[in-house]
Chain A
Amino acid sequence: MDISRHWRNRKQRYRLVGEVCPHCGAKLFPPRDVCPHCGMEAKTVETLVGTGTVYAFTTVRQAPSDFAEQSPYVVALISLDDGPMLTAQLTDLGDVEPYVGMRVEMVTRKLRNADDERGLIIYGYKFRPVLERALA
């Protein structure tokens, strides 16, 4: 496992820290410093809101060893309300079947656990069905 890569990416992985283009206002995730929409430099740091919609999904049943303890799980392509599309696990589905168009919100969860229980626990974003609230 590449500890330095996990460490460098922790802000984007823990809380969706991306970028915003100062020229056209597009949000970038993951951050890549060049706007995919207008081609200009885009280095302004911005934390994305973290709500979105499921665009596509699939269930992973044969997981790599570091992910095996959470298998089977659902991986989805999520269209963020802020604009960018990203790939992430869905979590807290319980008895809810995922569907295209499902409203989801970002949570920070355990992504992987070294299978010998000696290595690092890696945390990062996942998405869950939006929590129903009585107020708000």
Chain B
Amino acid sequence: MPELLRPERPVGIVGYGAYVPRYRLPAKEIARIWTQGRGGLPIEEKAVPGLDEDTITISIEAARNALARAGIDAELLRAVWVGSESHPYAVKPSSTIVAEALGATPFTQAGDWEFACKAGTEAMVAAFGLIGSGMADYALAIGADTAQGRPGDALEYTAAAGGAAFIIGPAEESLAVLLGTLSYVTDTPDFWRRAQQPYPEHGMRFTGEPAYFQHIGSAARAFLEATNTTPQDYTYAIFHQPNAKFPQRIAKQLGFTPEQIAPGLVVPTVGNTYSGSAILGLTATLDVAKPGDRILVVSFGSGAGSDAMAFEVTDLIEERRALAPATQDYIRRRTEIDYATYVRWRGKLVLK
């Protein structure tokens, strides 16, 4: 049985923040263009970034919200790590721009992380290690994306924009203390995008069983075994949400109830925010959690892997929750756009 990853020094989430862009593209509007409205829809609608938004701007706002809840100066951050598969530059870190915009420069680590949809949780695990070793007191881990799907492809219905940020710090200052983490990674070619290609490729039916369900299921089962816990020991659970169906199905397979995943299931009205997906579910869950609640999170990134981690919420949640906007505040702020507007905004029009 694999051993749980746990730091020497207890760590947790000192502050968290979410961000979801204002604009929404309903799935039925995409279906109107490509299938004459026929067929099932994987979600209701997805969040679309405005013309002036990208992974960097999404990261900045989510991180400002996390700093507001943490109540610390940005200068105290010793790492600014941005996980994404849509970094605006091929070469030039997103993280230096984010760090500068927060005021965390110059004495900090900065780096961009990539692992499809689990780059954000990968950065969190690294932050647990950095703080847990005693090398530093605060690290910022972000997962954010402005995901693109090929026009007409199944992924176009769900590929969305958004992100979440977490300031990891000492357990005694945390609003949710880390109980442990465990990852499950294999070389599984379910989804990829080659350099300089605008849209990803995917292995169609290969994306479900051998990828999503195998990795999340294995990570979650190993985590439960290593912690000697059962689904009933958790108040809430969040599983990566590429569509509405997958997280509900894996929850049921693992023995979690619909009530346990309800607060974190944001995909029906936000879409799949890729690196932001599972952790946006975590911010939405922290928004309603009470001291003593236990939360299990299992991300999934194609390629493929899952990070399982669990937290126990502390009394500090009550005083910090209202210090920044809730995830649902952003979800409620909603302006619907049509497919033509979406096509212009997402750069799918060739002008020259």
- Which residue numbers of A lie inside 8 Å of B, CB to CB? 10-11, 14-15, 17, 47, 69-70, 89, 91-92, 94-95, 107-111, 121, 123, 126, 131-136
> Hey, which chain A residues are within 8 Å of B326, CB to CB?
133-135
A-B contact count (CB 8 A): 69
Query: Does the CB pair A121–B52 fall under 8 Å?
Result: no
**Among the listed B23, B53, B323, which residue makes an inter-chain contact with A110, where contact means beta carbons less than 8 Å apart?**
B53
Query: Does the CB pair B56–A134 fall under 8 Å?
Result: no
User: What is the CB-to-nearest-CB distance from A71 to chain B, in angstroms, rounded to a whole number?
Assistant: 9
> Hey, which chain B residues are within 8 Å of A133, CB to CB?
325-326, 329
Query: Does the CB pair B325–A47 fall under 8 Å?
Result: no
A76 to B167, CA, bound (A): 34
Give the total of B residues in contact with A, Cβ under 8 Å. 30
Interface residues of B in 169-199 (CB under 8 A from A): none
**Among the listed B54, B57, B101, B335, which residue makes an inter-chain contact with A94, where contact means beta carbons less than 8 Å apart?**
B335
A51 to B322, CA, bound (A): 18
Q: Is B6 engaged at the interface, CB distance under 8 Å to the other chain?
A: no
Query: Does the CB pair A132–B333 fall under 8 Å?
Result: yes
**Among the listed A17, A89, A94, which residue makes an inter-chain contact with B23, where contact means beta carbons less than 8 Å apart?**
A94
Query: Does the CB pair A109–B53 fall under 8 Å?
Result: yes
Query: Does the CB pair B22–A92 fall under 8 Å?
Result: yes
A133 to B332, CA, bound (A): 9
**Among the listed A94, A109, A111, A136, which residue makes an inter-chain contact with B22, where contact means beta carbons less than 8 Å apart?**
A94
A109 to B52, CA, bound (A): 6
Query: Does the CB pair B335–A95 fall under 8 Å?
Result: yes
Given A69-B51, A110-B53, A135:B22 Cβ within 8 A: no
Given A15-B103, A108-B57, A133-B325, A70:B51 Cβ within 8 A: yes
Contact bitstring B319-333, A, C-beta under 8 A = 1, else 0: 001110110111011
Closest B residue by C-beta to A117: B347
User: What is the CB-to-nearest-CB distance from B265 to chain A, in angstroms, rounded to a whole number?
Assistant: 19
Query: Does the CB pair B88–A121 fall under 8 Å?
Result: yes
Q: Is B312 engaged at the interface, CB distance under 8 Å to the other chain?
A: no
User: What is the CB-to-nearest-CB distance from B157 to chain A, in angstroms, rounded to a whole number?
Assistant: 22
**Among the listed A14, A17, A47, A110, which residue makes an inter-chain contact with B52, where contact means beta carbons less than 8 Å apart?**
A110
A62 to B217, CA, bound (A): 54
**Among the listed A94, A108, A121, A134, which residue makes an inter-chain contact with B60, where contact means beta carbons less than 8 Å apart?**
A108
Q: Is B97 engaged at the interface, CB distance under 8 Å to the other chain?
A: yes
Could you list 16 further interchain pairs (A-B, Cβ under 8 angstroms) beyond the known A15-B102, A109-B57, A123-B57?
A: A14-B100, A47-B103, A69-B51, A92-B21, A94-B23, A95-B335, A108-B61, A108-B101, A110-B51, A111-B52, A121-B89, A131-B329, A134-B326, A134-B328, A135-B321, A136-B322
A110 to B50, CA, bound (A): 10
> Hey, which chain B residues are within 8 Å of A70, CB to CB?
51-52
A74 to B253, CA, bound (A): 51
Contact bitstring B84-106, A, C-beta under 8 A = 1, else 0: 00001100000001001111000
User: What is the CB-to-nearest-CB distance from B299 to chain A, in angstroms, rounded to a whole number?
Assistant: 27
Closest A residue by C-beta to B328: A134
A15 to B61, CA, bound (A): 11
Query: Does the CB pair A131–B325 fall under 8 Å?
Result: yes
Query: Does the CB pair A11–B335 fall under 8 Å?
Result: no
Given A15-B101, A94-B335, A110-B52, A132:B329 Cβ within 8 A: yes
User: What is the CB-to-nearest-CB distance from A116 to chain B, in angstroms, rounded to a whole number?
Assistant: 10
> Hey, which chain A residues are within 8 Å of B330, CB to CB?
131
Query: Does the CB pair A107–B61 fall under 8 Å?
Result: yes
Query: Does the CB pair B53–A132 fall under 8 Å?
Result: no
User: What is the CB-to-nearest-CB distance from B20 to chain A, in angstroms, rounded to a whole number?
Assistant: 11
> Hey, which chain B residues are within 8 Å of A132, CB to CB?
329, 332-333
> Hey, which chain A residues are within 8 Å of B100, CB to CB?
10-11, 14
Closest B residue by C-beta to A50: B64
Closest A residue by C-beta to B329: A133
A11 to B89, CA, bound (A): 20
Closest B residue by C-beta to A125: B101
> Hey, which chain B residues are within 8 Å of A134, CB to CB?
326, 328-329, 332
Given A92-B50, A135-B321, A123:B56 Cβ within 8 A: yes
User: What is the CB-to-nearest-CB distance from A51 to chain B, in angstroms, rounded to a whole number?
Assistant: 13
> Hey, which chain A residues are within 8 Å of B56, CB to CB?
121, 123
